Amino acid sequence: MKKILLILLFVSIYTFGKTPTPKLIVFISIDQMRADYFERYNQYFIGGFHRLYSKGIMYSNADLNYAASETGPGHATLGTGCYPWKNGILSNDWVERTTFNDMYCVSDSTAKSVDGAGGGASPRNLVVTAVGDWLKQQSPKSKVITASSKDRAAILMGGKNPDYAFWYNKTVGGMVTSDYYTKTLPLWVKTFNASNWSEKNVPAQWSKTLPDSDYLKIGPDEFAAEGKRKSATTFPYGFTIGKKAEEISGSPYGDKIIVDFAMDAVKNEGLGQRGVTDLLCISLSNCDYVGHAQGPDSHEMLDLLVNIDRYLGELFSFLDNNIGKENFVVALSADHAVCPLPEFNSQFRNVAAKRYISATDIKPKIEEFNSMFKKELNSPEDILIKNAFINYSAGAKAGLDSIQLEQRVRAGLLSVDAYVDIYFRRELMTREKSDKLFIEKYRNSYYALRGKDYLYRIRENCIISSRSSGTTHGSPYSYDTHVPLIFWWNDAVPATITREVHSADAAPTLAKFAGFSFPKNLDGVPLKEVVK
């Protein structure tokens, strides 16, 4: 009898101590979300962010660990567990080494439109597989579906062979794809697109959700360096009847339509309800749009985050009711963060920051150096080509070897005040130890088959912009690379982990948590606090 009791006790401990295989993996990217938003604004979160932050495992020191802090590389890294140097997506756009033609990261001229819209995009430039591919390889009946406002976000998170990747099209007022994935839209997507979602769900104006006093703690609503939405920079922002589908980008409703579409996907595709593990990837893009225009310290950003929190709360409640909270796992991260408005940093934080205007502060100086260098070498050819490549043959004709030529190029480029360091191809293709600051992040960003001959590092807390308003990202500094990384499942023991981890760790962690294998040569690793 004692022996039977011991066996039953062992079985009980094993059963209740083991996390069941999830029926649905929900992988969320909030485009341009800074990790510090959780600390700054947690008091206002009552929905999905609150559940993740208070009941999940939060990695407070998560970093991209590469320099190309942009949307394409960010989503490719999240999806594949590989940095750009392996996954091939080294930037949103690049210049092809052989032709000098510009290439968009998901451009594919062979990918045709579907039912008259979309097309022109696929994952053909992604050179490795992603978490959805690993899942489907071992469980062919599993479904992988992605949705975003941006084609590159949906496509690159989805990997090589998802069932569907959908992105928002303002002309359609709904979701589109390319024939890389399907020859015709599923009936439920056609129904969603025909529902006139924006006119039915978007109010007359975007107004503040919280009391004014909460926003004023951040700073002023009106700030000269903020970009305008239509003709305004302060709340409320009106929408035009009949044009709401065009105007929701840069507002909370541009994310709400993606969340509503995701819930339709769960319902109509039976995600998490078919006896296998499915994967739903969602990328919400409007944090990026608002961040670029108004900056991370704006009233608009706080209000957007408060609304996303509510939308994710609705999504999680929907999954609780339709799948069961014990049957799904959530991972949330970001593709990159963002630099504050330089003017805001200067005025309110006493930080040395500057906005360089590309047309006046950068381009003329590079052109002047290029022209001067041509004359000095008595060369009929440009030495710098498309601000990406060096004409080594012209240098050789003038008697300069590659090292000498690079030294001269470096000196010329560093005469531009915005630049503080230059990294050449020969430095980026090796893993030999170097004392150069940030070089490992630049190496992790550099895919040799598509890489430029040199990369530059901008001065810290500064941006290069084409406009006198708004801000951007793309640097190796922590304000661009420090992102959230949170995992939640029903039995998770809440914890905040302070050791450094990386966004590339998300995919292999999800794979191991759900019990399927992944390639051995990833840059990311399963996080022990999640998969122990």
Indicate whether this model's pTM tops 0.85. Answer: yes
The burial of 514, by beta-carbon neighbours within 10 Å (0-12 exposed, 13-18 middle, 19 or more buried), is given as buried
What's the pLDDT score for residue 230? 84
* Four-point Cα dihedral 501, 445, 138, 107, nearest 10: 140
What's the pLDDT score for residue 156? 98
* Mean pLDDT computed over every residue of the chain: 95
What's the pLDDT score for residue 8? 39
What's the pLDDT score for residue 210? 98
The burial of 190, by beta-carbon neighbours within 10 Å (0-12 exposed, 13-18 middle, 19 or more buried), is given as middle
What's the pLDDT score for residue 177? 98
* Four-point Cα dihedral 314, 319, 322, 325, nearest 10: -130
Measured in degrees and rounded to the nearest 5, phi and psi for residue 30 equal: -100, 105
Share of the chain above pLDDT 70, in %: 96
What's the pLDDT score for residue 231? 85
Please report which confidence band the pLDDT of residue 4 belongs to, taking 50, 70 and 90 as the band edges: very low
Look up residue 123 and give its amino acid: P
- 76 has a pLDDT exceeding 90: yes
What's the pLDDT score for residue 413? 96
Element (H, E) at 103: strand 102-104
| pLDDT per residue as tens digits for the range 178-228 | 999 999 999 999 999 999 999 999 999 999 999 999 999 999 999 999 999
CA–CA dist 327, 479 (Å, integer): 35
- 94 has a pLDDT exceeding 60: yes
| pLDDT per residue as tens digits for the range 320-358 | 999 999 999 999 999 999 999 999 999 999 999 999 999
Domains along the sequence of the chain with CATH:
22-346+477-531 (3.40.720.10), 354-460 (3.30.1360.150)
- 19 has a pLDDT exceeding 70: no
What's the pLDDT score for residue 387? 85
What's the pLDDT score for residue 2? 43
| pLDDT per residue as tens digits for the range 133-179 | 999 999 999 999 999 999 999 999 999 999 999 999 999 999 999 99
CA–CA dist 163, 183 (Å, integer): 12
- 504 has a pLDDT exceeding 70: yes
